[in-house]
A and B are shown apart, each in its own frame.
Chain A
Amino acid sequence: MIEIKNIYKTFHTPHEVQALVDVSCKIEAGEVVVVIGPSGSGKSTFLRCINRLETANYGEILIEGIDIFSRKTNMNKIRAKVGMVFQSFNLFPHKTVYENVMLTQLEVLKRSKAKADKKTVYLLKKVGITDKAKAYPAQLSGGQQQRVAIARAIAMDPKVMLFDEPTSALDPEMISEVLNVMKALAKEGMTMVVVTHEMGFAKEVADRVIFMDYGRIVEEGTPEHFFKNPTHQRTKLFLDQILS
């Protein structure tokens, strides 16, 4: 479904950093891929390249066979099919929860109001935010905001969901409520790429774990293989530090 071929990305400001070096991988439909790695290893850049919030300097990414770095591609159409959830939620603060979920359905998908309303009510119920539909994002806790952000992304009926450290900005007690929503999504067969530090989530839900360091994919494998007997020295070190 998503094919990433030899992408390179270098940031020049404030100073030259090689964020991605020759990264290639394939993500099949229905697969849950968890990307882990130390900070600055290029996980987020990797994720942001998939819906072209960052443009790779070299290489190509195919989503359902469409090259997203090509000039001819209508990126808005692709992005509508690739949902993204951010670390800092990025809900629209001037719109209510309900409007946040409604807006893109009406404006981007051009759904009818009745249909969008039905979908919104259904999704807000699914993520457990029915009573706060008329509240503004600032009146919600971090966990609630992140759940609304997930609902907003699913409302577009995406083929794949990208999660960029969705629980990193949350209080510890709110992490589980967001992870539960994500687990439910994974069970429904959604294709997901998750950048996270939640090893529990990776063990439980992931079909495949990718470990990145210095912009390269160091190791790739099933959670069992990954957490029980990692082959690479760097992976062992990272897991030792994070799990102890």
Chain B
Amino acid sequence: MHNFLFCPVLALEPNKLLCYATFNKNIFLPSHFDERSEKKSHKTEKAKKIINMVSNIKRLKKKGLYNFSIVLFFVMLFLTSASLYLAAAKIDYVWRWNRVLKYFAYNNTVEIKTETDGTAVIVSNDKGWNIEITKNSEQNIYFVPKKAKLNILDGEYVYKEGIIGSYSELKAGILASGLWLTIKSSAIATIFGIIIGLICGIARLSSNPFFKWSAITYVEIIRGSPLLVQIFIWYFVFGSILDAIFASHDFTRIEPIWYGIAALAFFTGAYVGEIVRAGIQSINKGQAEAARSLGMSGYQCMRYIILPQALKRILPPLAGQFINLIKDSSLLGIIAIRELTKATREVISTSLQPFELWFMCAIMYLVLTFSLSMALQFLEKRSLIK
């Protein structure tokens, strides 16, 4: 009877039908439902789910709606990209995707040159050749690795600045090093963000006003001001002060990237702190009471009982926060850190291929964020099974 009642709604909203069908498995599949209650092993559950999904698809297929929706999706994708291509053609833009590659990696030719002239003696060993160049009992030794091509013969007289060997090696391009810098700075900022967030979240829940108010002040300041401004403050205010102090004590100055990482870490820390606080508060009060009633100290209770459970719960919002962090790292270009976005801008100014390069840039961020969210989803699933 239910089925008939919902039919008109379902025909319009395929999603609802899926939900409805999954929710009411027993209505559609009474036999599976019975089996399910008997066997509780995880694998059979999974198999049942797939069977259910397939049967749902079958139901939709009958109406033709499912196939039509799939086709519609791909048509939409095709139309969007085609219209973009046509629009680009309209302004006479020539796509040259092959030019993008060299900004990731390129062949660099390394030449080994002599600094003096003289007679060359070639001594070969496992790793390559040692070239001894002697003139008037003055001897210089040059090393030529095995992968190189040797340009001279044994006993030959070489002139100053002569090329005795050359080889080409693959070098990382600007985009590759920009990508690496993005990964590096977000990874370091993530680690510090977690540490700051944990401390902040716990301090926020402390009954001691010093810790509690410090945490609240920190969170409110960070959340209430734009990240771009915070980066400027870190670099131009704290950076200038520290540079001046370091200069007067003959220390080397700190690289700008560390100010950028600090800004990102403190920014993320505030959000992680709020997530941690919510996670801890979501744990049933009885857990802490049970732990304390067994004689655990506040620290032990937090360490063994509350945090492990809270961390499991806050994994999904944390994943979102770290994905934001990766994207926010694109702002670091503003203080002369050549991360992915800044690198892309520099490459565009030399290559004049903005369309390909901006798409490339976006795709690389997408790859980073997507793999991070996949990894965290995997972690989450594993902890759920446990």
User: Which residues in A have some Cβ–Cβ distance to B below 8 Å?
Assistant: 51, 53, 76-77, 79-84, 86, 88, 90-94, 103-104, 107-109, 136, 149, 152-153, 156
Q: When chains A and B are docked, how far (Å) is the Cα of A82 from the Cα of B293?
A: 8
**4 nearest A-B residue pairs (beta carbon):** A80-B295, A90-B290, A84-B293, A90-B286
Which A residue sits closest to B290, measured CB to CB?
A90
Instruction: Pick out which of these stretches binds chain A: B11-19, B158-166, B300-308.
Output: B300-308
Q: Mark B303-336, 1 if CB is under 8 A from A, else 0.
A: 0110011001000000000000000000000000
Q: Mark B265-291, 1 if CB is under 8 A from A, else 0.
A: 000000000000000000010110111
User: Which residues in B have some Cβ–Cβ distance to A below 8 Å?
Assistant: 284, 286-287, 289-297, 300, 304-305, 308-309, 312, 386
Known: A93-B309, A103-B304. A108 touches B289 (CB 8 A): no
Task: Say yes or no: A92 contacts B293, CB within 8 Å.
Answer: no
Q: Which residues of A contact B289 (CB under 8 A)?
A: 53, 86, 90
Q: Which residues of A contact B308 (CB under 8 A)?
A: 94
Nearest chain B CB to A113 CB, angstrom units: 16
Known: A86-B286, A94-B308, A103-B304. A76 touches B296 (CB 8 A): yes
Task: Say yes or no: A92 contacts B295, CB within 8 Å.
Answer: no
Most chain A CB atoms below 10 A, which of B292, B294, B296: B294
Task: Say yes or no: B312 contacts A108, CB within 8 Å.
Answer: no
Most chain A CB atoms below 10 A, which of B291, B308, B312: B291
Nearest chain A CB to B15 CB, angstrom units: 31
Q: Which residues of A contact B292 (CB under 8 A)?
A: 53, 76, 79
Task: Say yes or no: B293 contacts A107, CB within 8 Å.
Answer: no
Q: Which residues of A contact B294 (CB under 8 A)?
A: 79-80, 83-84, 104, 108, 152-153, 156
Q: When chains A and B are docked, how far (Å) is the Cα of A238 from the Cα of B386?
A: 46
Most chain B CB atoms below 10 A, which of A53, A90, A91, A92: A90
Known: A90-B286, A90-B289. A107 touches B309 (CB 8 A): no
What are 15 inter-chain pairs, A to B, with CB distance below 8 A? A76-B292, A76-B295, A76-B297, A79-B292, A79-B293, A79-B295, A82-B293, A88-B284, A90-B287, A90-B290, A104-B294, A108-B295, A108-B300, A149-B290, A153-B294
Known interface pairs A83-B294, A108-B294; 16 further A-B residue pairs with C-beta atoms within 8 A, sorted by A's residue number: A53-B292, A76-B295, A76-B297, A77-B295, A79-B294, A84-B290, A86-B286, A88-B284, A92-B290, A94-B308, A94-B309, A94-B386, A104-B296, A107-B296, A107-B304, A156-B295
Q: When chains A and B are docked, how far (Å) is the Cα of A80 from the Cα of B297?
A: 10
Task: Say yes or no: B286 contacts A104, CB within 8 Å.
Answer: no
Nearest chain A CB to B16 CB, angstrom units: 31
Q: When chains A and B are docked, how far (Å) is the Cα of A50 from the Cα of B286?
A: 17
Q: When chains A and B are docked, how far (Å) is the Cα of A103 from the Cα of B294?
A: 10
Most chain B CB atoms below 10 A, which of A81, A86, A136: A86
Nearest chain B CB to A174 CB, angstrom units: 19
Task: Say yes or no: B287 contacts A108, CB within 8 Å.
Answer: no
Q: Which residues of B contact A80 (CB under 8 A)?
A: 294-295
Which B residue sits closest to A51, measured CB to CB?
B293
Most chain A CB atoms below 10 A, which of B284, B290, B296, B304: B290
Q: Which of B297, B300, B305, B386 contacts A92 (CB 8 A)?
A: B305
Nearest chain A CB to B162 CB, angstrom units: 71
Which A residue sits closest to B293, measured CB to CB?
A84
Q: When chains A and B are docked, how far (Å) is the Cα of A83 from the Cα of B286?
A: 15
Known: A90-B290, A103-B304. A108 touches B296 (CB 8 A): yes
Q: When chains A and B are docked, how far (Å) is the Cα of A107 from the Cα of B305?
A: 12
Q: Which residues of A contact B297 (CB under 8 A)?
A: 76
Nearest chain B CB to A144 CB, angstrom units: 16
Task: Say yes or no: B287 contacts A92, CB within 8 Å.
Answer: yes
Which B residue sits closest to A77, measured CB to CB?
B295
Nearest chain B CB to A86 CB, angstrom units: 6
Task: Say yes or no: B312 contacts A94, CB within 8 Å.
Answer: yes
Nearest chain B CB to A126 CB, angstrom units: 18
Task: Say yes or no: B300 contacts A107, CB within 8 Å.
Answer: yes
Q: When chains A and B are docked, how far (Å) is the Cα of A146 from the Cα of B286?
A: 14
Nearest chain A CB to B320 CB, angstrom units: 23
Which B residue sits closest to A92, measured CB to CB?
B305
Q: When chains A and B are docked, how far (Å) is the Cα of A88 from the Cα of B300?
A: 22
Q: Which residues of A contact B312 (CB under 8 A)?
A: 94
Q: Which residues of B contact A90 (CB under 8 A)?
A: 284, 286-287, 289-290
Q: Which residues of B contact A88 (CB under 8 A)?
A: 284, 286
Which A residue sits closest to B311, measured CB to CB?
A94
Q: Which residues of B contact A108 (CB under 8 A)?
A: 294-296, 300
Q: Which residues of B contact A156 (CB under 8 A)?
A: 294-295
